[in-house]
Structure 1
């Protein structure tokens, strides 16, 4: 349904720079809502004065200032680290070949500060609607292991391209665009309770503790 109704629903930016900002501010340890709030703040600055995001200290000020999430103030984690990565990446992005094929562009992006294969693939998938790369985050890894499409003992740190190839082969085998499959998996896996995920990953695991007291429900009429 997503492929028909909203094939590029995952695209966040209106330029490669904006897509870089969004993906670099998201990822491991950053709730999606917080990453998006930080992205919107920096995107507004990029639209008016993009050169300001080349200044690490200025980016740090933007990220260190609390974010408003529906009336609740939250702080962005790793503000100092991500400000250095983002300013450095924005400077280096200027010299990249933007017309390179998808995988070559992905590989070139991994040379930017703080951008690994997953983040680079995320940027390329979003910006190019690419089906040549895969975003192997924790949710996709869990889904792939439950489906047994990823070989045992393989990690993204050491075997990213091998795991990516397995994912892309699976998408082709079931005749689904890899970009859409990645998005559907991510959206659904992040909504499944942790106890259910443990049971899916290990059918012998107990979902509920045998020592837990039964819950009594009552209806007031």
Structure 2
């Protein structure tokens, strides 16, 4: 007999699963695409909206801040960090305020340091050749490797690998997804550390096996439904 959580997720999967699978991104072999996804994730995080995150990436691309020479040494990254801080402090980011004005980026003091440390890590680990750095690793090894990067937690590493097509068997536990899972009866830890993240991921993976879904696609579906408010109406 199915649990309430399994029945609810099966219903959602039956309705939207095909769309979710078709919407999943294929494996990207373009290193430039991988670098942009990498910086998108580093620019994001708790308290930063998806819209501001996208806007931040566009500014980085426009200003030429995704170049490996800017992160090649600790001395160079000090200069880069100051340049990034100046850009983040300019009112040029979406979403606009109610008054129609652009915003400054959030966490303007701490975010530049995280970004430059991540960029320098990338230089040291694979000389900014992310595709080669990932392609010779199994999915779990790749996630653990990315997890070592400053600014990359378990969620960020899973997100990167899913969104670039390297692995569709990881979960990306957005806060909306966590709240929904808890509401339908899944035991969600109060705090997610590496251990509890993996435990919750395995619970969802087992549910996916029972209902015939893939973990990455179901998680992506829940994220999409959560962003537009649909999950609030699911009981």
CA distance in 2, matches of 1:124, 1:152: 23
Match of 2:177 among 119, 140, 147: 140
| Aligned equivalent of 1:109 | 146
> CA distance change for structure 1 residues 137 and 6 in 2, over 3 Å: closer, same or farther?
closer
| Aligned equivalent of 1:35 | 53
> Matches of residues 1-221 of structure 1 in structure 2 within 5 Å?
1-3=18-20, 5-8=22-25, 14-46=32-64, 49-52=67-70, 54=77, 55-69=80-94, 72-94=101-123, 95-96=125-126, 97-98=133-134, 99-149=136-186, 151=187, 153=189, 155-157=191-193, 159-192=196-229, 196=232
Counting matched residue pairs gives 195
Task: Note the C-alpha offset of 1:112.
Answer: 1.5
CA distance in 1, matches of 2:228, 2:59: 26
Q: Pick 1 or 2: higher relative contact order, CA cutoff 8 A, min separation 6.
A: 2
Rg (Cα) greater in structure: 1
The CA deviation string for residues 82-116 of structure 1, in whole angstroms up to 9 with x for no partner, is 11111111111231542212221111112111211
Task: Note the C-alpha offset of 1:5.
Answer: 4.0
Task: Note the C-alpha offset of 1:62.
Answer: 2.3
Task: Note the C-alpha offset of 1:14.
Answer: 4.5
Contact 2:85/2:109 (<8 A) preserved: yes
The CA deviation string for residues 39-74 of structure 1, in whole angstroms up to 9 with x for no partner, is 111133458744236422222222222224366311
The CA deviation string for residues 129-178 of structure 1, in whole angstroms up to 9 with x for no partner, is 422321112112112212323x2545313511101111222222222222
TM-score w.r.t. length of structure 1:
0.75
In structure 2, runs of 5+ residues without a counterpart are 1-17, 72-76, 127-132
CA distance in 1, matches of 2:38, 2:66: 17
> CA distance change for structure 1 residues 129 and 100 in 2, over 3 Å: closer, same or farther?
closer
TM-score w.r.t. length of structure 2:
0.71
The CA deviation string for residues 178-204 of structure 1, in whole angstroms up to 9 with x for no partner, is 22211210121233289x57x95xxxx
Query: Which has a greater percent of helix?
Result: 2
CA distance in 2, matches of 1:43, 1:161: 34
Contact 2:84/2:112 (<8 A) preserved: yes
